[in-house]
Amino acid sequence: MRATFDDNGHARILLPLFHPEADIRWQTADETMKNKHVRFSGFHDALRVALIWHDPIDLDLHVVEPGAAFGALRGHVSPHHLTSGLGVMHVNARTQPTGDRVEVYDLMPERNPHEGLFKVYVDVAAPDDAPRSSACGDLAEPEFQLRVLRYGEIDNQNFGFKKAACAPGRASRHPIKFRDVNAAPG
């Protein structure tokens, strides 16, 4: 991951942690290695959902919060509606030229209603101007991972899409159903 620095030499980087503590290491422009130990305060009360994939294709994470509907103005959080309810979406997928692409939904502990069902969806879409190969070639079967952090427990699930019919502009919505991700673990 590369960072851009402002005129004062400061950079802001979003690192979605899935552990209560982590050691972060980075290399400066003069190749000096730096280290920082960080703690995730509120780890045991947070709800975080990450969509992670590697292929250069457009996937979108959608989280529908309790009581809301897909496409609603309030409670449907996605890369197109970064915050419209309880949580907020962080996206670095479009700025990464290579490596993992990530979209993360965060619900901070103080906003957690501790009840209700959060529905998680993943869209894969080929825009109308996409080359045919991205709509129906190898990239039409992207594999991805959904990582869910809730109440200090991590759930990783691997998924993939089946190859779509060979037509540009064809979009698919594939619901990924989870249990009540906001209920306290039993």
pLDDT for 93-150, tens place per residue? 655 566 788 899 998 878 888 788 888 988 876 544 444 444 455 556 778 899 999 8
C-alpha span between 133 and 136 (Å, rounded): 5
- Decide if pLDDT at 152 tops 70: yes
Higher pLDDT, 3 or 35: 35
111 phi and psi angles, rounded to 5 deg: -105, 0
**pLDDT attached to residue 167:** 52
Tens of pLDDT, residues 72-86: 889 999 988 898 779
| Contacts of residue 78, Cβ cutoff 8 Å, sequence gap at least 6 | 60, 61, 62, 63, 89
DSSP summary character for residue 162 = P
| Contacts of residue 95, Cβ cutoff 8 Å, sequence gap at least 6 | none
- Decide if pLDDT at 27 tops 90: no
**pLDDT attached to residue 137:** 56
**pLDDT attached to residue 88:** 93
Give percent above pLDDT 70 in the chain: 72
Tens of pLDDT, residues 52-64: 988 877 888 999 9
Q: Given pLDDT bands bounded at 50, 70 and 90, which one contains residue 165?
A: low
| Contacts of residue 7, Cβ cutoff 8 Å, sequence gap at least 6 | none
C-alpha span between 153 and 162 (Å, rounded): 29
Domain ranges of the chain: 42-176
CA distances from 110 to 41, 43, 94, 161 (A): 11, 12, 29, 35
The CATH classification number of 42-176 equals 2.60.40
Higher pLDDT, 54 or 33: 33
Mean model confidence pLDDT for the chain: 78
Average pLDDT over residues 41-46: 86
**pLDDT attached to residue 178:** 61
**pLDDT attached to residue 106:** 92
Handedness of CA 10, 16, 18, 24 (dihedral sign): negative
Average pLDDT over residues 30-48: 90
